[in-house]
Amino acid sequence: MAVTVGVPFEAFINQSQFSYIGTPGRKDNFSLSYGDYSWKAGIWRMLNVLDDFGVKASMSTNGLDTERTGR
């Protein structure tokens, strides 16, 4: 059996991929806080789980996220 693990690591400006009410051009703070979980806590938890089980994974990031984390 072959399994591929792909982890999207993204940052957003006005709203994340999750939004109840999307108003084009307006900042959705609830949506952004949901998206911020990824770089503040989620990615570190995911990396620990992958490491615990010895699983290799690929990761795609966007430029905004790379600028924010400074890496």
The tens digit of pLDDT for each residue in 3-53 reads 777 777 777 777 766 666 666 777 777 777 777 777 778 888 888 998 999
Q: Provide the pLDDT for residue 32.
A: 77
Question: What is the enclosing helix (H) or strand (E) of 51?
Answer: helix 43-53
pTM for the whole thing? Answer: 0.57
Domain residue spans of the chain: 25-71
Q: Provide the pLDDT for residue 51.
A: 93
Contacts of 66 (CB under 8 A, 6+ apart): none
Query: What confidence category does residue 71 fall into, taking pLDDT thresholds of 50, 70 and 90?
Result: low
